[in-house]
Amino acid sequence: MAISSKARPYLIVIVLVLVVAGVVVARLPRDQPTAAPATTAVTTPPVVNAEGGAGAGDAYYPQDGNTGYDVTAYDVSVTYDPATKRLDGVARITAKATADLSRFNLDLYALKVTGVDVGERPAATYHQEGDHELVITPGSPLVNGEEFTTTVRYGGEPTLFEDRALGRSGWQVSTSGGAFAAGEPHSATTWFPANDTPRDKASFALTARVPEGWSVISNGVERGSQTTDGWTSFRWVAEQPMATYLTTIAIDRWTVERSTLPDGTPVVDAYAPGAENTRQHQRRLPEVLAFLAEKFGPYPFEAAGGIFLADNIGFSLETQTRPIYASWADLDTVVHENAHQWFGNSVSLENWADICLNECFASYAQWLWAEAKEGVDLDERYRAEVERVADRETYWNRKLYDMGRGNEFRGVYDKGQLALHALRRQVGDPAFDRVLKDWTAANRDGNASWPEFEAHVERVSGQDLDAFFGAWFRGTEVPADEFLHPGPLRR
């Protein structure tokens, strides 16, 4: 995520979530990323009253996500009419039980559920509880290891999340009359039911039906569109695992440009009316991705592109394969959001305390770009920045790891850049290069934590870095000079 320079002083991440919905769910050819069996045979007697947990255990957001199963695929169909702002959807969720289950939960915010099936049978019971829990009792208990599909029918007018620390996130109606979904840490559950934790990544497919004249952009690869009786349905498929907050739907009267990268990867760029001035930056995307691949390893996804809004929102977001950009986005923003395709998307955080794995690296990618493409001396930039903020307690007291709920985005952009440059100088360029490439390769399509990254750096560099990491990433004061000016940074 890149935050508007106007928004940063207030340390508010204004997250906007997307749009989808309608009255009738369209049916295009089922181009599912993962086959969805109804259920597998029960081979052992199920345990009665074995309930999945309501919450995946993140210390900052303990009610997010659920336990007892692992989602492998989402196939979401929605109808949305911009005139009424109503969304109607059917979500088909393929999962594998990781425990015996007589009951399990999904997360869905503010939309009304009208029916639930587990396998080919209606659920024995279902009800919505609290702000976002959908509690489901299947007709027959599920056995640990069993694959099953849950089909949820739902509808209503989506509602934003409001968070005093992080700002608004969730559903957003755009100034053009269309809509989009984007938000961190929350977004997906304002428009489809999900296991809303970044730990449970899954493939994602979307069929979206909108009135003729409107169009829909989402994650992954286009699978065609068809128009019937004044409505057009669009199909998008993302095969590789994705955290739920990285899904998106964007509805507008888009100008769409299609191209390919040199290796044949399809690129889809969409510009809202009034966003044409951002084309100059996005047309450098092939150069940006080639540069990032040199630093981080091969591009990790099957598609690329961007969604450019005319709305002056407070952030841009690294929605997987196709970032969503505010009207103020510039070339630095394009570099930042696409660096997230490696750091944050392909390799996703384990807990929100690990957010530096996303934002510190995407922010430092902007420095790497400036060094390579603009001839910037990063050592001089580093020294100047350290001198500028040397006496600012409020700069240094922001932790970069386990910073506390509501503080996730306070220091990771600017202090994170300094910390990673100091780390680079501490271990040297050859080791730093291996650190980045080996990390993204080893954790591709998975999750990782900040302590795991620290251990990884120590293995690659052969150095004991406990004190360094303690000073820079866990500390709340100016690091000691040996860590503030390691190697060539010392004059």
pLDDT tens string 214-231: 999 999 999 999 999 999
- Listed in sequence order, the residues at least 6 apart from 208 whose beta carbon sits closer than 8 Å to its beta carbon are 20, 26, 77, 78, 79, 80, 216, 218, 233, 234, 236, 249, 251
Pick from 296, 314, 332: which residue ends a domain?
314
pLDDT digits (tens, 9 = 90+) for 306-316: 999 999 888 99
* 59 shares a domain with 123: yes
Q: What is the pLDDT of residues 464-476, one digit of tens each?
A: 999 999 999 999 9
Tell me, yes or no, whether 291 lies in a domain. Answer: no
Give me the CATH number covering residue 372: 1.10.390.10
> Do the beta carbons of residue 208 and residue 21 sit within 8 Å?
no
Q: Are residues 310 and 413 in the same domain?
A: no
CA distance 483 to 57: 34
Distance CA 297, CA 347 (A): 12
118 shares its domain with 55: yes
DSSP state of 157: -
Domain assignment present for residue 43? The answer is yes
Domain containing residue 149: CATH number:
2.60.40.1730
Domain boundary pick from 270, 297, 314? 314
Domain membership flag for residue 234: yes
Task: Note the pLDDT tens digit of each residue in 275-295.
Answer: 988 999 999 999 999 999 999
Q: Let me know if residue 337 belongs to a domain.
A: no
| Residue pLDDT, tens place only, 293-305 | 999 999 999 999 9
Q: Are residues 43 and 191 located together in one domain of the fold?
A: yes
pLDDT tens digit sequence for 79-117: 999 999 999 999 999 999 999 999 999 999 999 999 999
Instruction: Calculate mean pLDDT across residues 134-145.
Output: 98
Q: Is there a single domain that holds both residue 395 and residue 310?
A: no
Q: Do 196 and 109 fall into the same domain?
A: yes
Residue 139 belongs to domain spanning: 16-253+306-314
Is pLDDT of 27 > 90?
A: no
| pLDDT for 28 beyond 80 | no
Q: Residues 407-427: what's their mean pLDDT?
A: 97
312 CB burial (10 A radius; 0-12, 13-18, 19+): exposed
User: Averaged over 124-134, what is the pLDDT?
Assistant: 95
Q: Report the percentage of the chain scoring pLDDT > 70.
A: 90
Number of domains in the chain: 2
Q: What is the pLDDT of residue 4?
A: 67
State whether 226 and 368 are in the same domain.
no
Which of 272, 291, 314 finishes a domain?
A: 314
Output DSSP code: residue 212: B
In this predicted structure, the answer to whether residue 348 has a pLDDT above a threshold of 70 is: yes
User: Is the full-model pTM beyond 0.85?
Assistant: yes
